[in-house]
Amino acid sequence: MPDNLPRRQVLRTAGALGLGAAAAGALQTGADAVGTPDKVAAMDAQRGHGRLDIRKDPFGTTPDGQAVDVYTFTNGRVTISMLTWGATIQRVDTPDRRGHTKNISLGFDNLPDYAALSPYFGATVGRYGNRIAKGKFSIDGHAYQIPINNGENALHGGTIGFDKRVWKAKVVQSSSAVGVAFTYVSPDGEMGFPGELTSKVTYTLDKHDNLRIDYHATVTGKPTIQNLTNHVYFNLAGEGSGSIDGHILQLNAPKFTPVDAGLIPTGELTPVAGTPFDFNQPTAIGARLRDDHPQLVIGRGYDHNFVLGKAGADGMRFAARFWEPAAGRTVTVHTSQPGAQFYSGNFLDGTFQGIGNRAYRQGDAFAFETQHFPDSPNQPNFPSTVLRPGEVFTSTTVYTFGTK
Ligand code: BGC
């Protein structure tokens, strides 16, 4: 078990999955999953790459008695597990360039750890992802207060955000993709936010190893603010395998939004040229991480929103590509969102272990949260995050898994 995948997890997913031998093969992480490069194509054929399948299993029960399920969907090559708790990506199993499959997403194998310990591992974050200064904002002259949960600011929707709610789930399956549509209705006043917000977030995996996330939100009663994102943490060498310093990042962003000591944007859009924030050419994440740039000192590394390059005619833009040179895995991100928080796992501190029973230490993973800019409700120069009754918010982010 090079992946440290608990044996019972293998049995539950591969054995009980009922995906058939071909697709289940993609779930295995043992020596039989390794092949020389020239055997990989044959192995893909054997595994049935392109065969879409999904199953549902019980995952746990919340203290107030709500059942939480895990949905596991595969295309025979990439396999994703998602929880109804927080519409959370629990596992992402992908092959490396030799065909050796590992889980590359940080997470836990049990619900109590998600509830007690998780720094938003894989979660769908809302109602407002990222920070709101002092938890305060106004819409049309009405002042609102969100619970403070990060220094003197509100982070990721307050003390009980969408990551800690049980979402309704519906399987979506077509001839080209499979996945789950998650829905959560947040009542008027929940966490201090105005208006009843219905969020529908659909995660689908296609035959070309694209995990597509479609966000859809509407509000009734009062205008509100929203900033939905996903907070998956990746280590492309496998979760729990150590530092991501050696991952190579290309980030399509001419500017970033510098922050104050509380990680609230100052309001400036600062060019990245000539700074450690310039990843327009592929560069190792660790190459400048320890530089004395004041913004890196404040963030203890990268914990900043990047202003992404212009979108194409379809509204989508290339945002970033991450590459781990040793195993060769890549993840490429396209999004319709104007920004992305690149977070180099600075606050992981080794105090708990994840799904593979390995401690997660500082810099052992990265998150790339596509989003509107932090604190937009208080920043007149940033694109608006206000959603009014009758309007429909949509956005799309696609993670493409590959090897190089
Ligand atoms: C924030 C970090 C925070 C992390 C986990 C990121 O989105 O920017 O500061 O530590 O989420 O909560």
pLDDT tens-digit readout, 344-399: 999 999 999 999 999 999 999 999 999 999 999 999 999 999 999 999 999 999 99
Give residue 46's pLDDT. Answer: 45
92 annotated to bind ligand: no
* pTM for this entry: 0.89
- The share of the chain scoring above pLDDT 70, in percent, equals 88
Contact 366, 342 (CB under 8 A): yes
* Ligand 1 proximity of 119 Cβ (cutoff 6 Å): yes
**How many Å lie between the centroid of ligand 1 and the Cα of residue 129?**
10
Residue 42 has pLDDT above 60, yes or no: no
Instruction: Using the atom order of ligand 1, give the atom closest to the CA of residue 131.
Output: 8
Say if ligand 1 is within 6 A of residue 369 CB: yes
Question: Does any ligand 1 atom lie closer than 6 A to the CB of residue 375?
Answer: no
Q: Which residue has the tokens 């450690």?
A: 276
Q: Among 2-16, 164-178, 307-321, 380-394, whose mean pLDDT is lowest?
A: 2-16
More confident residue, 401 or 37: 401
Q: Where are the beta strands (DSSP E) in 187-239?
A: 196-206, 210-220, 224-225, 229-230, 233-234
Specify the residue with its C-alpha closest to ligand 1, atom 7. Answer: 130
- The pLDDT value given to residue 49: 62
* CA 214 to ligand 1 centroid distance, Å: 22
* CA angle, residues 71, 77, 83, in degrees to nearest 5: 15
293 belongs to an annotated ligand binding site: no
Secondary structure of 125-169 in HEC code, one letter for each residue: ECCECCEEHHHEEEECCEEEECCCCECCEEECCCCCCHHHCECEE
Residue 122 CB less than 6 A away from ligand 1 = no
Average pLDDT of the chain, as a whole number: 90
CATH of 52-404, one of 3.30.200.20, 3.30.70.1880, 2.70.98.10, 1.10.1060.10: 2.70.98.10
Give mean pLDDT, residues 251-277: 98
Percent of the chain with pLDDT over 90: 88
- Whether the CB-CB separation of 372 and 385 falls below 8 Å is answered with yes
pLDDT > 80? residue 6: no
| Pocket lining: 233 vs ligand 1, CB cutoff 6 Å | no
Q: For residue 324, is pLDDT > 90?
A: yes
Closest approach atom of ligand 1 to CA 231? 7
Atom 9 of ligand 1, nearest CA residue: 303
Protein residue with least CA distance to atom 4, ligand 1: 119
Sign of CA dihedral 293, 294, 300, 302: negative
Domain residue limits, the chain: 1-48, 52-404
Q: Which residues are catalytic?
A: 231, 369
181 Cβ contact partners less than 8 Å away, ≥ 6 residues apart: 169, 170, 172, 200, 201, 202, 203
Distance 343 CA to ligand 1 centre (A): 7
Q: What is the dihedral of CA 354, 244, 397, 222, to 10 degrees?
A: 60
Contact 88, 114 (CB under 8 A): yes
What's the pLDDT band for 333 if we cut at 50, 70, 90?
A: very high
Contact between residue 63 and residue 57 where contact means Cβ atoms under 8 Å apart: no
